[in-house]
Amino acid sequence: MNNYKALNYIYQSSGVEGAYTLLLLHGTGGDETDLLPIAAKFGEGVNVLSLRGNVSEAGMPRFFKRLAMGVFDEADVAFRTHEMVAFIKELAAKEKFDPAKLIALGYSNGANIAGSTMLLYPDFLAGAILLRPMQPFKKLPQPVKTSRRIPVFMSNGVEDPTVRAADSKAYQQLLEDAGFAVNAFNLEAGHNLTLRDIEYAIQWFEQNFETAAIK
């Protein structure tokens, strides 16, 4: 028995056959509605699947447990990642979206479970937008390699008190060494998102998934 639980979700179909699906993954204390306004900026040609994390920290939804600020319960990271991927695979059949055309868009805690998905399932996502990410595992549970050059967008805040610049650079290098095609941006910002994060992410998206953008 794996004891996996379903996740609360919102699914919005674009009505476009073979469309990409944006997988929205909120930050600590958010929910499945948080990133919908951002997803709307990516055009009408994409489906949207937004999840709520199954972990509660003092009443705040998260995707996995942490032991302290910036210190993750890595066993729970792995478990929750397996749980989420299993749920998405089942949901794809129910909601009729292509699981091979899934692009994660995660902020903070959501970016971190998107990252753990890439590290545990290197060929599961078609792409990922990581906003204020941290490396989810200090020691990788398994070797990571993909030959597909999956595009990854990463934006870091140079004044972010929760993520060290050197750690962001090391994480980028880890993903590149694993075969991901990473475009990283260091913005004049803290941990909160800015309009520039979204503008750059949309530009990256349209360059890498041009068939998805219908305005």
The C-alpha R_g of the chain, in whole angstroms, comes to 16
Q: Residue 26 catalytic?
A: no
| Residues 193, 131: Cα–Cα separation, whole Å | 8
Between helices 109-120 and 74-95, what is the axis angle to 10°? Answer: 80
Q: Decide: residue 84, CB within 10 A, 0-12 exposed, 13-18 middle, 19+ buried.
A: buried
Of these residues, 108, 116, 155, 168, which one is catalytic? 108
Q: Residue 108 catalytic?
A: yes
How is 40-58 classified by DSSP, letter by letter? HTT-TTSEEEEE--SEEET
Of these residues, 26, 34, 160, 197, which one is catalytic? 160
Q: Residue 168 catalytic?
A: no
| Residues 115, 109: Cα–Cα separation, whole Å | 10
Query: 152 Cβ partners below 8 Å, 6+ apart?
Result: 118, 127, 128, 129, 130, 175, 180, 181, 182, 183
Question: Which residues are catalytic, by number?
Answer: 108, 160, 191
